[in-house]
């Protein structure tokens, strides 16, 4: 039976780039993918546009314990090389507010150029290959699929993703493979995710969008801040503002870091508290009803919660409520709605500069399976491309 130089588990963003990197070094490469098609998650990235990088990429955007490893990879394959890589594949990109997109605004363009290069390099892709077991054999590894197929390789690269959007292929199964080979797994949790809150405000205002400032508060301490679109839903709070500040809140919920978890919402971030109070005093002095008090400041739908917002309070009290409305958080939405996975193979068990396992020889990792995470904005995909390219060199 043929033995490959490298077998790559996972045909997502990092796995495809790793295969290209390896094949360009004249290595014999096989990609094993559990789904019937490759790269499904790429197609969903960036709202279907594929935010493939950011103008400002650096280790400071990633979780602290991973910054040394991240820096060692971006030193070799940073933003400029990522753009050059895709340009060489035939993809033109542009920057919008610091985020880098394909000029077609279609994630399918990104996947297509990767697949064309995979084909040109004659890299075989074994689809519907769901790995059930990895065993060490003389000079390498044997990789067994649930359907009975078995392949052999000298070096193994695990590029399976996290647990977000399992229908697109990321079901977290590669964590078990890594753990089976002796690696510690930091418990995965959903991040960049909407939050659940049992609050009548959410139910009454469901579907309403506002521009807001939000703070995550755990046991009285502010742990995250963001501003942007906030959407009230029947289950709680969503929108970019919530997504962008959700990670520390999700940590507190899923890893038991705090008991009292709240979101503070500033519903009028365009006015400071004193100016808002002065405006309410002016309106009350002119005889505005409590129901009409927020007209022009908040959308008209807020009339149905005007009594809760205004109550019998004076202008200062009403302004204080509007600038700091608290929502008790009960949980997060699940893996089908989270944008990223936090957790994975502990970074201390991966070698700086090569991404080879520090405890198992000739085993490499790349992409989201490693406990390396960053905010939205192209940072996570940039890590996927860069880590895939460097890991594919299998040095």
201 and 67 share a domain?
no
What is the band of 219 on the pLDDT scale with cuts at 50, 70, 90?
very high
For residues 52-57, give the mean pLDDT: 96
Q: Does 337 map to a domain?
A: no
163 and 244 share a domain?
no
What is the band of 165 on the pLDDT scale with cuts at 50, 70, 90?
confident
For residues 31-46, give the mean pLDDT: 94
More confident residue, 129 or 2: 129
Measured torsion, CA atoms of residues 293, 296, 299, 301, in degrees rounded to the nearest 10: 40
For residues 64-71, give the mean pLDDT: 97
86 and 230 share a domain?
no
Report the C-alpha gap between 47 and 27 in whole angstroms: 35
Contacts of 229 (CB under 8 A, 6+ apart): 209, 210, 211, 212, 239, 240, 241
pLDDT at res. 193: 96
175 and 203 share a domain?
no
Q: Does 267 map to a domain?
A: yes
Instruction: Write down which residue in 313, 332, 351 finishes a domain.
Output: 332
What is the band of 310 on the pLDDT scale with cuts at 50, 70, 90?
confident
Write the CATH number for 138: 3.50.50.60
Residue 49, Cβ density class (10 Å: 0-12 exposed, 13-18 middle, ≥19 buried): middle
Q: Report whether 134 contacts 8 (CB < 8 A).
A: no
For residues 78-88, give the mean pLDDT: 98
pLDDT at res. 31: 98
53 and 201 share a domain?
no
Question: Between vectors from CA 260 to CA 257 and to CA 265, what angle results, nearest 5°?
Answer: 110
What is the band of 235 on the pLDDT scale with cuts at 50, 70, 90?
very high
Q: Does 222 map to a domain?
A: yes
Containing structural domain, residue 207:
195-332
pLDDT at res. 166: 84
pLDDT of residue 258 exceeding 90, the answer is no
For residues 266-277, give the mean pLDDT: 97
pLDDT tens-place string over residues 322-349: 999 999 999 999 999 999 999 999 999 9
Q: Does 359 map to a domain?
A: yes
Question: Between vectors from CA 16 to CA 52 and to CA 71, what angle results, nearest 5°?
Answer: 55
What sign does the dihedral 240-339-369-111 (CA atoms) show?
A: negative
User: 362's torsion region: left (phi>0), alpha (psi -120 to 50) or beta?
Assistant: left
Q: How many domains is the chain partitioned into structurally?
A: 2
pLDDT of residue 259 exceeding 90, the answer is no
Q: Does 136 map to a domain?
A: yes
Report the C-alpha gap between 181 and 179 in whole angstroms: 5
171 and 232 share a domain?
no
180 and 210 share a domain?
no
81 and 221 share a domain?
no
What is the band of 33 on the pLDDT scale with cuts at 50, 70, 90?
very high
30 and 171 share a domain?
yes
What value does the mean pLDDT of the chain take? 95
Q: Does 150 map to a domain?
A: yes
What is the band of 198 on the pLDDT scale with cuts at 50, 70, 90?
very high
Question: Strands 195-196 and 331-332, how do they pair?
Answer: antiparallel
Q: Does 200 map to a domain?
A: yes
For residues 218-237, give the mean pLDDT: 97
pLDDT tens-place string over residues 87-130: 999 999 999 999 999 999 999 999 999 999 999 999 999 999 99
65 and 115 share a domain?
yes
58 and 185 share a domain?
yes
88 and 11 share a domain?
yes
């Amino acid at each position: 039976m043929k033995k490959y130089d490298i077998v790559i588990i996972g045909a997502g963003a990092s796995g495809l780039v790793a295969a290209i990197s390896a094949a360009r070094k004249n290595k014999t490469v096989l990609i094993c993918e559990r789904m019937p098609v490759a790269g499904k998650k790429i197609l969903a990235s960036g709202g279907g546009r594929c935010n493939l990088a950011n103008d400002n990429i650096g280790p400071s955007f990633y979780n602290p314990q991973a910054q040394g490893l991240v820096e060692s990879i971006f030193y070799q394959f940073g933003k400029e090389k990522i753009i050059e890589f895709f340009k060489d594949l035939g993809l033109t990109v542009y920057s919008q507010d610091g985020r880098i997109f394909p000029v077609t605004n279609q994630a399918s363009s990104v996947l297509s150029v990767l697949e064309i290069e995979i084909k040109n390099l004659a890299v075989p892709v074994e689809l519907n290959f769901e790995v059930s077991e990895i065993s060490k054999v003389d000079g390498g590894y044997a990789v067994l699929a649930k359907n009975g197929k078995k392949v052999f390789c000298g070096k193994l690269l695990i590029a399976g993703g996290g647990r977000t959007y399992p229908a697109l292929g990321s079901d977290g199964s590669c964590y078990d493979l890594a753990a089976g080979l002796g690696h510690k797994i930091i418990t995965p949790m959903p991040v960049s995710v909407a939050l659940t809150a049992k609050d009548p405000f959410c139910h009454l205002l469901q579907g309403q969008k506002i521009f807001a400032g939000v703070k995550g508060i755990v046991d009285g301490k502010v742990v995250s801040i963001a501003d942007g679109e906030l959407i009230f839903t029947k289950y709680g709070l969503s929108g970019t503002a919530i997504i962008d500040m959700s990670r520390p809140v999700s940590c507190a919920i899923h890893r038991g870091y705090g008991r009292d978890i709240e979101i503070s919402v500033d519903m009028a971030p365009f006015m400071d508290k004193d100016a808002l109070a002065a405006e309410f005093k002016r309106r009350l002095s002119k005889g505005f009803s409590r129901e009409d008090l927020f007209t022009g400041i908040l959308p008209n739908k807020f009339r149905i919660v005007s009594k809760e917002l205004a109550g019998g309070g004076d202008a200062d009290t009403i302004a204080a409520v509007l600038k700091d409305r608290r929502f008790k958080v009960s949980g997060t939405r699940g893996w089908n709605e989270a944008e990223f996975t936090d957790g994975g193979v502990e970074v201390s068990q991966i070698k700086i500069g090569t991404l080879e396992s520090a405890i198992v020889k000739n085993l490499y990792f790349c992409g989201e399976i490693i406990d390396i995470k960053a905010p939205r904005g192209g940072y996570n995909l940039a890590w996927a491309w860069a880590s895939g390219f460097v890991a594919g060199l299998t040095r």
